[in-house]
Structure 1
């Protein structure tokens, strides 16, 4: 299971520990051995680590902290610590889970980060090497070395511009402010409390990311659209008056990413563009889908891992939406991501509130279907959909009823068409 190079590194490490009469073989001994392992060396160099500095610090730490076996004790042997064994077991498990057969030194490096209390993990972090950096290199060959200039990469400026055009923000996200300005967003009715709470969270200094949680069809997306409409109308606090809401399309991001690293590169470009805009707010509908989105086999480099640093630093504000089921089974379990959001419950509106929502939307549907809806018809749509359509939720199912009624009336020839849906 361990490749020959790794086995050789471990054997040498044990031999050196025995020669120095060290009582225990620790995670620090393991990291020291990996500094002479080609696979681990390549990964560390790709992450910009100074191997000589790490080696020197490890030598000092091991000499100062490792107990020695007495000279006259000939029965005792150097024993691996539990943490040493856990690291190797974890590396084997991760490799097996990804469908591969051999464990390399770089795989063991990744496993060391799970021993968060170890000095080895501390030294790696101190030298600006993270678990994500190692995984990026193993899975996608991504390094932390400075990127080449576009002219060197593509041969000419035109090709570089063409690539930049493909990764432009507007190709993967919709500017909801522009949509609202064009009058293509329906008015938000009956969600003042949820909208005010969303604005309040966005105004925070840290953890300023609202998470709208509610059943499908209760109007979570409408809240984000309603916020964009209020920003355009100037009906928001000054702190977010200039904010621009971008609705991310995960499907477009994933489309065409057939090679390893394509998704990560594309998503990083999008995040960089958003980061440059001081007042950008990212809206991700069905936010649970970013967990695992774009992860290659054997790696954990998904959209969630890429967006976490920006959320934790407050450089990017994000509004997410998901259902209760996906929140509890997927999103909540990703603790590092979920704790950066403030949960806002979006409950199903009452019959009266749904009727008010339909009254507010009535003119839009009357204009589209060229009919008139009576108040009685709207109330009937609410009550009957609530009674007979059990697998869906208000107001979505009631809106569908009046939309269907209007569509059906348009099927009738103009000469015989009723102008009122009663």
Structure 2
């Protein structure tokens, strides 16, 4: 279990997954969420807890297997080769009542192994066993693949119980990273300060917009440790601080490092005066705009909503 990190948080989602797995029929949880929110981590965390004995008694003897569709497809030259392999796998799982099959990116089983123009694929082979409860499967996929691919196969989708995996909050992500921190400290031979951990989360939310928590914050922590480890011995530091995190985020987001390290409070303090020096005769408009920005930064609005919708009508110069 050395390659699997423990699951931090996500108690409600894990509890629901265990409840679904203990059902008599249709006992197959489907973890659906955006990329990077920790769907695979929940399945791996369940395996970790089974090994540690931190699960209900009914799950204590279970074993979780991860399915690699590519390995099943590799070397299948003739029609029927894939079906033979997949049926042998299903038969083995059916005989072992304590086995649980985890299929990451489960939408890939739709069409997997199907011959040209044929209807027999991995999804159709597994459907009868899913509805009867003879085997238990944990699947994971994104919202996009769920709606575009998986949900269109109604017979397959209704055999799974959908569990939404939402993006954790900043505080939850800080808790997750603090739980994982010893592993990264041991790997990179460094120490992360508490302020560095919080800065990694907050700056990732602010500047890295194409990914989701906790994945993007963990990437920042990991890369900051790698950066410190690659420094020459004479310059190598044993502690990763806020400045190191700011430098890493600036490189990932491709923005000037000064922009990352500059405090919002200092910028907003003189924002109105600076704008008035650049735009003349529009004091009322500038004051309204800066007021909206300051109100948003004060935490009185939703963090994922726009700061303001401003419209500046007037004649062309």
TM (norm. structure 2) is 0.75
- 1:202 equivalenced with 2:58 (yes/no): no
What is the match of residue 50 of structure 1?
none
**Aligned partner (choices 162, 171, 180) of residue 361 of structure 1:** 180
Which residue of 217, 233, 236 maps to 2:52?
233
Match 1:337 to one of 109, 133, 156: 156
Match of 2:313 in 1: none
Is 2:212 the partner of 1:393? yes
Question: Shift in Å at residue 415 of structure 1?
Answer: 2.8
What does residue range 19-418 of structure 1 map to in structure 2 within 5 Å? 180=1, 183-418=2-237
RMSD of aligned alpha carbons = 0.9
Q: CA deviation at 1:232?
A: 1.3
In the TM superposition, residue 362 of structure 1 has moved relative to its aligned partner by 0.5
Deviation at 1:215, TM superposition (A): 0.3
Distance (whole Å) between structure 2 residues aligned to residue 287 and residue 258 of structure 1: 23
* Partner SS state of residue 415, structure 1: coil
**Number of the residue aligned with 1:22:** none
- Separation of aligned partners in 2, 1:384 and 1:326: 29
Distance 1:237 1:365 in 2: 30
Cα displacement (A) at 1:190: 1.6
3-state SS of the aligned residue for 1:390?
coil
Query: 2:221 & 2:26 partners in 1: Cα distance?
Result: 40
Q: CA deviation at 1:292?
A: 0.5
C-alpha displacement of 1:258? 2.5
> Size of the alignment, in residue pairs?
241
Deviation of 1:255 (Å)? 1.5
In 2, Cα distance between the equivalents of 1:419 and 1:277? 49
Cα distance in 1, alignment partners of residues 222 and 100 from structure 2: 32
> How far did residue 237 of structure 1 move?
1.8
The CA deviation at 1:414 is 2.2
SS of 1:387 mapped into structure 2: helix
Distance between the aligned counterparts of 1:307 and 1:246, measured in 2?
16
Please report how far the alpha carbon of residue 336 of structure 1 lies from its aligned counterpart in structure 2 after TM superposition.
0.7
Higher relative contact order (CA 8 A, sep 6+): 2
Counterpart in the other structure of 2:294: none
Q: Deviations over 1:361-415 (max 9, x none)?
A: 1000000000000011111111111111111110001000111111111111223
TM-score, normalisation: structure 1: 0.56
C-alpha displacement of 1:353: 0.4
Secondary structure of 1:416 counterpart: coil
Distance 2:28 2:99 in 1: 12
